[in-house]
Chain A
Amino acid sequence: MIEVVTNLVAWFADPINWQGPTGVPTRILEHIWYSVLAIVLAVAIAQPVGILIGHTGRGGALAINLSNAARAVPTFGVILLTFLVAGIGLVPVLVALVVLAVPSMITNTYAGFRAVDRDVRDSAEGMGMTGWQVVRRVEIPVAMPLIMAGVRISAVQIVATATFAAVVSLGGLGRYIIDGLAQQDLTQVLAGAILVAALSLLTELGLSRLQTAIVSDGLQEESQEASMEAKLEGTTG
């Protein structure tokens, strides 16, 4: 056990592991690059859908059921299958990560819109707001704790799951784990695991700061609750 720890310390202290295309900084940047692409794509797909069904209230049951079913689909398998279809490249990873993230974003945004008090909505309409104004100036701000909870949890899931990019020949921090396993180099495997865990914890912390900053002061408590709920419903890679 002590040997494992000293090997790890030596690995992290070795300048070789911090340089060039296989060094830690490059791997971290690759990992962040895949994750950010996937998060942006997932937000672009999920939020309009969530806002539409949340605002109109139509198609909600279908969306929730689909999202629940999607939780049962193993992301690991989706990456490998898309790889066989699409070949080496970003496509398999992005498809799998987006499929992973979209359901929890949609269900959370939808739930956020549904939770907006009827009276609040009615008075906004009574003040002469158009449908779009109600969405933008009333529903989105009030639903923000849940919308952000969905984005935050999905983003953390994406960062954790981007590890599998290495299985289909891409880079990222998963490289250390996959290569280490193949070379029976436990130190490298553990170094990779530590780096991935640290990056996802940092993402979680960073986004919870962002959530606090974006959500209106009056809704902070709801915001905490919503994150807990979203976390419990979500799956990681």
Chain B
Amino acid sequence: MAQSVFEWSWVVENRGDIWAQLAEHIVLTAVPVGLGFLMAFPMALASIRWPRLYSPFLGVAGVLFSIPTLALFVVMIPFTGLSKATAIVPLTLYTLLILLRNTVEGLKGVPSHVREAAEAMGYTRTRQLFRIELPLAVPVIVAGLRIATVNTIAYVAITALIGQGGLGNLFMDGFLRQFPTPLIVGLVLSVMLAVAADLGLLGVQRVLTPWRRNPG
């Protein structure tokens, strides 16, 4: 049986399904990273204002991050069955540690003379946060978003075992039929998606921080 390792004809015939899985993969990445940021951001602001909160927040996020992915996915099944939420809730929780820490470190990294200058210019605390500190923290915050996004893209594939999966369904398809083509397509697209998302976020950072573009 002369079956070649990679068959283009399969890709051409199934391009509709491949696109659909890719789109699904993007949704299953974007929603958790977005939700994770919506949760981590207020937690970070609270940690700045009340520093005593930071350590327990970080501890909880750290323990969640240490739970093996497949274990956390299946623990969700009694609550959410095999729905999308079973994938989205754990994926969101995994992003918290990175997003929380980078947002806090980014905000803390604003030099004190900058803060004092803003205060001397009569900025209120809120205005100072949104006009001075957040823009300066953007590179560190985006660095966190990039790590969280690349990690999430890799984790999404695992959810194929619990009936979700995006490109992970192509992995399972190739595996179950002993047919490498879908698996290779899924792997290549997954890596390309991670690279594209990483570069895209880097682009967002450059747009948000025009003053860093031409150093010197």
Q: Could you mark each residue 43-63 of chain B with 1 if its beta carbon is under 8 Å from any beta carbon of chain A, else 0?
A: 000000000000000000010
- Complex Cα distance, B155 from A231, in Å, reads 16
B36 within 8 A of A: no
Question: How long is the Cα–Cα vector from A164 to B77 in the complex, in angstroms?
Answer: 18
Given contacts A71-B150, A71-B154, A80-B171, contact A163 B71 (CB under 8 A): yes
Q: Is the Cβ of B186 less than 8 Å from the Cβ of A77?
A: yes
A80→B74 contact, CB < 8 A: no
Q: B68-97, CB under 8 A of A: which get 1 and which 0?
A: 111110110110000000000000000001
- A232 contacts B by Cβ under 8 Å: yes
Residues of A in contact, count (CB < 8 Å) = 46
Chain A residue with the shortest CB-CB distance to B198: A72
Say yes or no for A201: interface residue by CB 8 A criterion: yes
State which of A41-49, A188-196, A216-224 sits at the interface with chain B. A188-196
Q: A74-B157, A236-B69 are in contact. Are A84 and B77 (CB under 8 A)?
A: no
A77, A190, A228: the one contacting B183 at CB < 8 Å is A77
Residue B180 interfacial (CB < 8 Å): yes
Q: Are A232 and B101 in contact (CB under 8 A)?
A: yes
A152-206 interface with B by 8 A CB criterion: 156, 159-161, 163-164, 167, 174, 177-178, 180-181, 186, 189-190, 192-194, 196-197, 200-201, 204
Q: Which of B125-133, B188-196, B208-216 contacts A (4 or more CB under 8 A)?
A: B188-196
B141 within 8 A of A: no
A4 near B97 with CB under 8 A, answer: no
CB pair A190–B74 under 8 Å, yes or no, is yes
Question: At the interface, yes or no: B30 with Cβ under 8 Å from chain A?
Answer: no
Whether B205 is near chain A, meaning CB under 8 Å from some CB there, is no
Q: Which residue of B lies closest to A178 (CB)?
A: B161
Q: How far is the CA of A164 from the CA of B155 in the complex (A)?
A: 13
Partner of B187, one of A81, A156, A201: A81
- Taking a contact as CB atoms closer than 8 A, the residue among A181, A232, A236 that contacts B98 in the complex is A232
Q: Residues of A contacting B204 with CB < 8 Å? A: none
Tell me if B194 and A72 are in contact (CB < 8 A): yes
Q: Are B75 and A190 in contact (CB under 8 A)?
A: yes
Closest to B190 in A: A74
For the complex with contacts A71-B151, A80-B174, A197-B68, 16 further pairs of A-B residues with Cβ separation under 8 Å are A71-B150, A72-B153, A72-B190, A74-B187, A76-B158, A77-B187, A81-B180, A163-B70, A164-B70, A177-B74, A181-B162, A193-B72, A200-B66, A201-B66, A236-B65, A237-B69
Give the interface of B toward A (CB within 8 A): 62, 65-72, 74-75, 77-78, 97-98, 101, 147, 150-151, 153-155, 157-158, 160-162, 168, 171-172, 174-175, 178-180, 183-184, 186-187, 190-191, 194-195, 198
Q: Which 9 A-B pairs have the closest CB atoms?
A: A72-B194, A160-B68, A193-B71, A80-B175, A74-B154, A74-B157, A77-B187, A197-B71, A77-B171
Q: Could you tell me which A residues sit within 8 Å of B by CB distance?
A: 1, 4, 69, 71-78, 80-81, 83-85, 156, 159-161, 163-164, 167, 174, 177-178, 180-181, 186, 189-190, 192-194, 196-197, 200-201, 204, 228, 231-233, 235-237
